Structure 1
Amino acid sequence: MAITFDMDADSLIHIAKPEDSHDRLYPISMGRYGPLVALPRILDTYRRLGLKQSFFIPGWCLETYPDVAEAILKDGHEIGHHGYLHEDPIKTRGEQREWFERTLDAHLRICGQKPRGYRAPVYNITHEVVDLMIEHGIRYDSSMMADDIPYRLDTEGGSLYEMPVHWGTDDWPPFAHYDEIGYMMPVRGPSQGLAGFWEEFEAQYDAGGFFMLIIHPFLTGRLARWKQVEAWIAKTQETKDVWFATLDEIADHMDHLQKDGIWTPSVERLPYYDGPILGDTT
């Protein structure tokens, strides 16, 4: 199982409101809470519990908060590709090579290595991005939702693993309230908001499957929420037979299982469709 983090910091407001984001102080401060307050708290928990996990960080955030990236890597965690400024690949079709490779450059300069995994901002992955991942040797994606357990994506250009996400294990629906980007939803209390995650875990545990949380530090890294997450992790370590791992380690495990003939992943072949289902609607 993996508890993964999308450390977007204040990139969300800068991509959403580029004309005056610098003067929108409340969303900037809310985003900065993630790297400056929540991340040290999260890393402290993981040091005490002996866990290594995966963080997905936009390239601009690596450049803006390099000390945070250094602290994450120093503790042995993984940092994956998460766009440059949390740009939506659907809204930036045809521009993704520039964004994608700019982020790779940030990884090389700040982290000293290329990322091995990718998660699309807003999960809006496209064929263009899949092709870029394969071209640049990214070994896994974590943006799609076609299975309960990891599987393989095949294209004409190559293949990569998929570590599937879904909104039921993402902390955005229960905890995000972000009127500056048009997301106006009631915020649930910590116990109510987290309860659904634990139900998802129990179902996957009973099935012997794969469980992954997708957490934003500026949301679930808040004191009351993280206190409950930390307690749940500690209890799970004590009472369940689970393996907490980075997604890169899980990809290694998948390699070994296939090499030893123990397991073969299901395969999703891309593209699903060759063009618009309704044809040219113009």
Structure 2
Amino acid sequence: MRRMLPTLRRFSPHDNTEPAPDPEPEQFYPSLRDVFQVRAILRRGIVPEGLPVEIVDLIVDAAEYWPSVEARISEKIIIRQDGDRECLRTPPLCYEQTPVDSSQSRILPHRGMHPCRKIVFSIASHDQGWGGGYGNRGKHVGAYSWFDAFIIPTARKPDNDADATTPPGTDEGSRTTGQERTTTDAETKPESRLEPFLPTANRLQTNPVATSTTQNFRIVWHYLDSIPADSAKAEEIETEEGRGRATLDGSAVRNMQVGDSVSVWARARFAGWANHVERLSVRVFWAV
């Protein structure tokens, strides 16, 4: 029988054509069942006497083998001057997703009172492609097209707290760090409501100035993050990457509670500025 050999492509020294790169493997996200199965293997299938639960927890956390839930937008969005908009909100943490018309919900298995371990924001966006201050083109300094993210608590504050100011467009009691209530520069005095709401140290991400090509951002909030907002490292990240310096200490993740949601807003300020949101998704991971 004649043996069939695979066809090999031969390249001429003058051939500038390169083979197409292999497609990147699709990211695997374990389900709740996957995590339980791995925990069972670690608990009983490694040594005869079984590994202690504390050791299993350490292994699972080190591997970041956590279940997760994702929310994403299904259409492109353009935010123009002062047209700030909430683009998405994740399902309540550790709650089973149910049909909109259903009043039944079930709390999913989780570990501890603060089970959130990581929040990953994936953004594809750009500004209007022109304008900005002299020398700021392509940089994050002087950018007025940006995103904010907030942790929305499951329990709202009582009515007697209604006088407390909140960042424009957010729910009462929303927080950007682990504190029950966080006051930003835009909230310091009541009359600040009459001033433009600008990017703060709590911002999620700014678009580079006057850049019309789509930029891809992957912002990770991790429970082990520990960069202080007043550090030189935080200042460098804010300047070079456009991420708010107050989002680098991990407190928002460590203090997120069961039932809390993540809300993402797209913003643009001043005449001519726009935020073109091509894609946006948020994935929240929790420990079991």
TM-score, normalising length from structure 2?
Answer: 0.25
Higher percent of residues as helix: 1
Q: Over alpha carbons, which structure has the higher Rg?
A: 2
> Quick one: higher RCO (CA 8 Å, sep 6+), 1 or 2?
2
Higher percent of residues as strand: 2
TM-score, normalising length from structure 1?
Answer: 0.25
